[in-house]
Amino acid sequence: MPTSTPNSDAVLPASLLNLERRHRALLAEIQDIGLVLRGSVAKRSTRCGRPECRCKASPPQLHGPYYIWTRKVTGKTVTLQLPPTLGALCQGWNRNMHRLDHIVRELQDIGLQAANAVRGR
């Protein structure tokens, strides 16, 4: 991968070289991230409204688990209930999304550090 400096023949300060190395390492991490899913996926157990149900016993035996996927669509919250097999899968994709968000924030921070280093700060 070429360096992101305007003149790659120029000698870069060690701090910029370190930032470039960290940048490339983060980009390599992105390659290993699988599918991503925005929102949140939660595993829930619930009580029903029947007074004689097992969920009201002592100790209660709650219904579920149910997987709930919540996300924003055009500014509105949308919630879906997922089957258990898909819910567990979506939880992994959601963790991937959190990891990707973290990496992007780190890349942005590296860009800021590089800009400050070039400016002489």
* CB-based contact 38:77 (threshold 8 Å): no
Q: 5-33, pLDDT tens digit by residue?
A: 455 535 567 789 999 999 999 999 999 99
In tens digits, what is the pLDDT along the chain, a chain of 121 residues? 455 545 553 556 778 999 999 999 999 999 999 999 999 999 999 899 898 999 988 898 998 889 999 999 999 999 999 998 899 999 999 999 999 999 999 999 999 999 988 887 5
The continuous run of DSSP H or E covering 23 comes out as helix 14-31
Structural domain boundaries of the chain? 16-119
Tokens of 58: 């002592």
Cα–Cα distance between 121 and 114 in angstroms, integer?
Answer: 10
Per-residue confidence (pLDDT) for residue 121, from 0 to 100: 57
Number of other CB atoms surrounding residue 23 within 10 Å: 19
